[in-house]
Structure 1
């Protein structure tokens, strides 16, 4: 594309989390960073490289406030099979007629006259501006992933209240997942695994607390300020509970009844304080705070 250009928005049929639905990139702009990954085919000669590229991008976007979509001239049914067999978790869009590929300037013509997609990648910031692009120089080329990681982190919105809420919420959800895993290990009497899971949960909740706290200081509206404030309180209580539960599991593994009960009671008290409190998902929080709607 070249230069500082605004993203060409599109809505295509696709596969998201194994289900078939439309992928509307326009609705993502303003709420998250967007990474577009174009690739030639699901099951062609270089499909292994395409899968590796998509998995690597998925890992990088998981570290930042970003969403990714793979785009290829394949049907949604091909995409669904490819995602399952290649362990690809990012959304996949079906650009059957090649119109989106052509709009981004990464289409060529094959021997049979068909549209051939060049492996390429575009990073779009919150304004909808393409701030980074890469096109494979040869069939075996891959992006400089460390450079891509640095670019994504440089525009991750730790400097915005909405961005802090989004990343804090992601860490909070991950903490809840580790907490549930730890409780399951407790029921099975696997105290070492339980303690490890609770330690992971504590780390995630601590990170979430820090993100929400920063978001409070950067709040640009009453609604997002309230969401970050509530997130900080809830994440802090879960953080406390996870630490108490880690102590509970450790004490149980050593058959220290007194310490086990003391930690259990403290954890239960912390969890009771947030049992009925829910946090809105980031998309809902962003729309409430900004009033933005995308076609």
Structure 2
């Protein structure tokens, strides 16, 4: 199997226990608002920061529809699910509207957020993008869980395991969902 050039691979991503870097970037909300928002503003509850390539790529549509369709994430009451991609605010607005997403999306057009988390890389040494990845960040700004796409050449091709992410969030919150006696 061919190997990619080391310069094409992502840098070392942040790990569990690391502090999440503070940043401020353009955030597009499901309610139609576009504003500058810092990560710390969202940390009134844990944040699941999900990095993806661009809006409307087939694999990204699959990922965000899975988040949307997994009702527990859609409630937004226990965890803030927030996307990060290279797409700009206008495309984010269309993506949110077309897929009926209930999650805000950061516009990381210069990949500064991706670089801060160690998930920016170059495909074939040319195209800069974000490695598909998820970081669960607690209210104190500490990374409590991370998932990284592992495809040997294109780490954007892996899809986050929604059930595993849900379990990590449940573990962070320290409670079990109500079973209503069943």
TM-score (norm 2): 0.75
Deviation at 1:10, TM superposition (A): 1.3
Distance 2:119 2:102 in 1: 23
Name the structure with the higher helix share. Answer: 1
Match in the other structure for 1:5: 18
More strand by share: 2
Q: Is the 8 A contact 2:16 2:145 kept in 1?
A: no
> Which residue of structure 2 aligns with residue 285 of structure 1?
none
1:150 is aligned to 167
What's the CA shift string for 1:108-150, capped at 9, x where partnerless? 1135833211111000112211010001223543333332222
2:93 aligned partner: 80
1:1-295 alignment, distance < 5 Å: 1-16=14-29, 17-29=31-43, 31-55=44-68, 59-60=72-73, 62=75, 65-111=78-124, 113-138=126-151, 139-156=156-173
Give the Cα separation in 1 of the matches to 2:24 and 2:34: 13
Identify if the C-alpha distance between structure 1 residues 151 and 112 changes in structure 2 by more than 3 Å, giving closer, same or farther.
closer
The higher-RCO structure (CA 8 Å, 6+ apart) is: 2
Distance 1:24 1:60, change over 3 A: same
> Is 1:64–1:156's contact at 8 Å kept on the other side of the alignment?
no
> What is the aligned residue count?
158
Contact 1:39–1:70 under 8 Å retained in 2: yes
TM-score by length of 1: 0.48
Which whole-Å CA distance do the structure 2 matches of 1:124 and 1:56 have between them? 22
Instruction: Work out which of the two has the higher radius of gyration on C-alpha atoms and give 1 or 2.
Output: 1
* CA root-mean-square deviation: 2.5
**How big is the shift at 1:3?**
4.2
CA distance in 1, matches of 2:65, 2:157: 12
Contact in 2 for aligned 1:54/1:70 (Cα 8 Å): no
Q: Is the 8 A contact 2:25 2:38 kept in 1?
A: yes
Long gaps (5+) in structure 2 = 1-13, 176-182
